[in-house]
Amino acid sequence: MVQLPQPALDRVFGALTDPTRRAMLARLAEDGSLSISELAKPLPMSLPAVMKHLDVLEGAGLVARQKAGRTVTCRLVGAPLEDAMAWLQRYARFWEESLDRLAAALERAP
């Protein structure tokens, strides 16, 4: 696994802050490649607004676009999410260890 430079990790977490972008990523994870119009269809916003969200996702490296004729398809790119998960795992271990210590202390309490 390649460690993302800090600015790249910042872009990934920044892209994930918006619920619309998270919904778009979830659809791409479920459905694979989707055209921009298919991706935009269930969203309650204009196509230009969808394109702005896609620009953010692409800038974070989370989405790749491919043009075939007049159709542009999008697909999820998982590597940046793996790097973000690896970063988060350090904190998951911290909380697991903290909770284990708390449980042990509670078991020792009268």
24, 2, 7, 28 alpha-carbon torsion, rounded to 10°: 0
Helix axes 6-16, 19-31, angle to 10 degrees: 90
58, 63, 66, 72 alpha-carbon torsion, rounded to 10°: -80
Q: Give the percent of the chain with pLDDT over 90.
A: 65
Q: What is the pLDDT of residues 44-75, one digit of tens each?
A: 999 999 999 999 999 999 999 999 999 999 99
Write down the number of H helices and E strands in the chain.
Answer: 5, 3
Q: What residue ranges do the domains of the chain occupy?
A: 6-105
Give the domain 6-105 fold.
Arc Repressor Mutant, subunit A (1.10.10)
- What's the pLDDT score for residue 30? 95
